[in-house]
Structure 1
């Protein structure tokens, strides 16, 4: 018996779909993406209350001049430049940066009241806009790239040390709201933010990691979901975490989980 052939319309549809797929692959292979060019010196900014200003250095590591705009906003604020009210000014807020050149940004505290008994976190945003394409650059994909890093205001005479704040964290396990999973909770009794590159659980020879890093604010508790871990079947588990220092150094730590 001869095999049944699909209708002609289906054949044409499949051919058109496959042809479009090939064309898309070729288009992206031909187009050269315009990579991000601005490099920020450091992974975070620590602004000490007694300082007159903090300096952030930017470098254009690309091959073309770019327009750079900088602004700050609060932790849960996603507003556009100029819309967020923060007690800091950035100078210059917008500038042209030539390839291979650097630019220092000055951040100054305008002295509006901020908490004096704990750190306060802001975001520093850096937006780079590539130059307008020339007529012969139609094969170049261009993007405006925004990078943001933590900007921490640190009051004077806080008790303890930011470098050892992780030692005072307490860790507990709890069920997720739907009861189908487990979260690892970190409670921070200190006056400092503790930043994590990784958070997870070590049980025997196995590790169960939270997908991504995170942080826990002063005096707060943060929950980190731990996929695939069943707390009912394992005893003696430990919290395993990697902290990020003021200078961006990674420290690996383990600590027993409280009952």
Structure 2
């Protein structure tokens, strides 16, 4: 057993690790309910050709093209992309009607399979397939793109959740709101600003950020946050805590 472990470690030390070369033209996909299809550009920035496979799932991270469930089809579902070349994916809505009151969330998977590398002197090579996973928001027909009013409508409040102090955010909007970062800036009762990370709160849902020990007992103050818009841009915001 020890020899096997040492052999594996030796292979790792000698291994060359490939890096993903396929670049996707966006960090998310917005699918308006009034359209039948949208396009997405995929480009190979590397020096070698790659095989790309794409599919959409409804939230199952372990999904594959054969098991994924979503009301969309993608063409082409698999293709070779040469260095410096690009392909345009066409995503078509083929399932049930678009949601009527709030966004639905799906996930676009782009699997990049690099060619088998050629090495000299019998060197060991670790070859990886890279999977990009992007959010796909299926938006109701009558719902316009979100604006700053969307984040202004978020309700933030400090509360107790069992034995833990948390910062709670309620999202009354029909949109998913993605946070790049959230920070609590208390008026008193805490020693310093608390950086709470990021995440996403669904339409009509609530999200809770546990507070670190340095922020427990915080009272009043405000929340500074950065959200991600439809184009992947970071949008800063700030709002007072509810009492």
Question: What is the TM-score with the length of structure 1 in the denominator?
Answer: 0.82
Going from structure 1 to structure 2, the CA distance change for 1:43 and 1:220 (only over 3 Å counts) comes to same
Question: What is the TM-score with the length of structure 2 in the denominator?
Answer: 0.87
2:42 aligned residue (58, 61, 84): 58
Cross-structure match for 2:207:
222
2:192 aligned residue (193, 206, 220): 206
The 8 Å contact of residues 43 and 86 in structure 2, kept in 1 or not, is answered as: yes
Cross-structure match for 1:187:
170
Aligned residue for 1:206, secondary structure, equals coil
Using the TM superposition, give the Cα deviation of residue 196 of structure 1 relative to its aligned residue in structure 2, in angstroms: 0.6
> 2:105, 2:161 → 1: CA distance?
27
Going from structure 1 to structure 2, the CA distance change for 1:133 and 1:123 (only over 3 Å counts) comes to same
The answer to whether structure 1 residue 129 and structure 2 residue 113 are counterparts is yes
Count the aligned residue pairs.
236
Unaligned runs of 5+ in 1: 1-15
> 1:196, 1:135 → 2: CA distance?
43
Q: RMSD in angstroms over aligned alpha carbons? A: 2.6
Query: 1:32-111 to 2 correspondence within 5 Å?
Result: 32-76=16-60, 78-111=62-95
> 2:37, 2:64 → 1: CA distance?
24
> Hey, which bits of structure 1, 4+ residues long, moved more than 4 A?
26-30
Aligned residue for 1:166, secondary structure, equals helix
Unaligned runs of 5+ in 2: none
The answer to whether structure 1 residue 152 and structure 2 residue 137 are counterparts is yes
Cross-structure match for 1:5:
none
Higher helix residue share: 1
The structure that has the greater radius of gyration is 1
Using the TM superposition, give the Cα deviation of residue 228 of structure 1 relative to its aligned residue in structure 2, in angstroms: 2.5
